């Protein structure tokens, strides 16, 4: 089933809840791959009815980013979503989601200051606003997000906590290609040569993991080693390579407890992100 209007989606959610059934939500921007399918499968295990939203949200893109070019394939998305166990696709357009004008936004402070928030100003305000709207439209009991967008996952969890949304948030593991590249809709942009170059992101994370497991606790040393690996790739341009506290996202100098090793790297013109959580 495909639903395109807010009114119909809310009515469906009301009927579903009245019948005593639970709703699971997987918010996406479409162009679904096996990573998205893994989220839908988790939602399928957790809820009676699974809704996948497909909406390329303009408010989370910067003026020079790839909103217009972002890949779209609704027919392919239908096949992937239904095969993974989705019951309903919610596919609104911009006018449906925002009307003629929208004067209200949702902002989570502090957690959005660094990492992708620093290099993409306004991005997370767009994310939290649209996710908040989706929560009110679809009325899920549980929502599933991916660990690949680690900062986004923490921001959403904090929004749910602070605004008292009665929704359980599940963060699912990163799904990787056989060679280690994190699955992403933006991988489509990569040329064959860039696709090989992109493997340096995962190799750099593996290097960090090995160094920390071997006893290195100086974050600067680990970051330097990762940066050197990435800089050796001609097509690569580093946005950031950071080690932060896994809960607060504050920069750490000494690696102890749970840390998030996160990076964003341009391979050619394509910006890719990846991360790993390590406990020391």
Is 56 a domain residue?
yes
CATH code of the domain containing 130: 3.40.50.620
**3-state SS assignment for residue 113:** coil
Given a contact cutoff of 8 angstroms between Cβ atoms, the answer to whether 163 and 108 are in contact is no
Q: Are residues 150 and 27 in the same domain?
A: yes
Q: Are residues 69 and 161 in the same domain?
A: yes
Is 259 a domain residue?
yes
pTM of the model: 0.92
Phi, psi of 155 (to 5 degrees): -65, -45
pLDDT value of residue 100: 86
Instruction: Express each pLDDT in 10-45 by its tens digit.
Output: 999 999 999 999 999 999 999 999 999 999 999 999
DSSP string, 132-197: HHHHHHH--SEEEEEGGGHHHHHHHHHHHHHTT---EEEEEPPPB-TTSPBP-GGGGG--HHHHHH
Cβ contacts of residue 155 below 8 Å, gap of 6+? 108, 111, 112, 124, 127, 128
Q: Are residues 243 and 160 in the same domain?
A: no
pLDDT value of residue 65: 86
Burial 244-264 (b: 16+ CB within 10 A, else e): bebeebeebeebeeebbbbbb
Is 21 a domain residue?
yes
Is 280 a domain residue?
no
Q: Are residues 111 and 17 in the same domain?
A: yes
Q: Are residues 35 and 135 in the same domain?
A: yes
Is 180 a domain residue?
no
Pairing of strands 49-54, 258-267: unpaired
Q: Are residues 63 and 84 in the same domain?
A: yes
Q: Are residues 151 and 211 in the same domain?
A: no
Q: Which of 145, 172, 199 is the last residue of a domain?
A: 172
**How far is the C-alpha of 23 from the C-alpha of 50, rounded, in Å?**
6
Is 177 a domain residue?
no
- Give the total number of structural domains in the chain: 2
Is 269 a domain residue?
yes
pLDDT value of residue 98: 95
pLDDT value of residue 133: 97
Q: Which of 143, 172, 201 is the last residue of a domain?
A: 172
Q: Are residues 128 and 249 in the same domain?
A: no
Q: What range defines the domain where residue 168 resides? A: 2-172
Task: Give me the residues of the chain with pLDDT under 70, please.
Answer: none
CATH code of the domain containing 265: 3.30.1300.10
Q: Are residues 160 and 253 in the same domain?
A: no
Q: Are residues 126 and 253 in the same domain?
A: no
pLDDT value of residue 279: 87
Q: Are residues 84 and 137 in the same domain?
A: yes
Residues annotated as catalytic (active site), given as ranges: 36
Q: Which of 126, 147, 172 is the last residue of a domain?
A: 172
Residue 32: HSE in the Cβ half-sphere, 13 Å Cα cutoff: 26
Is 179 a domain residue?
no
Q: Are residues 137 and 261 in the same domain?
A: no
Given a contact cutoff of 8 angstroms between Cβ atoms, the answer to whether 74 and 54 are in contact is yes
């Amino acid at each position: 089933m495909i639903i395109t209007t807010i009114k119909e989606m809310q009515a469906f959610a009301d009927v579903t809840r009245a019948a005593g059934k639970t709703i699971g939500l997987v918010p996406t921007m479409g162009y679904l791959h096996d990573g998205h399918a893994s989220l839908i499968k988790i939602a399928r295990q957790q809820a009676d009815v699974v809704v996948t939203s497909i909406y390329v949200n303009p408010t989370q893109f910067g003026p020079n980013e790839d909103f217009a070019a972002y890949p779209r394939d609704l027919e392919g998305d239908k096949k992937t979503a239904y095969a993974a166990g989705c019951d309903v696709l919610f596919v609104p357009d911009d006018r449906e989601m925002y009307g003629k004008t929208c004067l209200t936004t949702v902002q989570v402070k502090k957690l959005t200051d660094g990492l992708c928030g620093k290099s993409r100003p306004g991005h997370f305000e767009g994310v939290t606003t649209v996710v908040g709207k989706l929560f009110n439209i679809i009325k899920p009991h549980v929502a599933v997000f991916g660990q690949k967008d680690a900062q986004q996952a923490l921001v959403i969890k904090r929004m749910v906590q602070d605004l008292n949304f009665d929704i359980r948030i599940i963060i699912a593991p990163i799904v990787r290609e056989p060679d280690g590249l994190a699955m992403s809709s933006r991988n489509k942009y990569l040329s064959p040569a860039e696709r090989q170059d992109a493997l340096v992101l995962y190799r750099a994370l593996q290097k960090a993991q090995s160094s920390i497991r071997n006893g290195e606790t100086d974050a600067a040393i680990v970051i330097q080693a990762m940066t050197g690996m990435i800089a050796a790739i001609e097509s690569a341009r580093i946005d950031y390579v950071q080690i932060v506290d896994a809960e607060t996202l504050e920069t750490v100098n000494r690696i102890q407890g749970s840390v998030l090793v996160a990076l964003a790297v341009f391979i050619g013109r394509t910006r890719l992100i990846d991360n790993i959580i390590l406990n020391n």
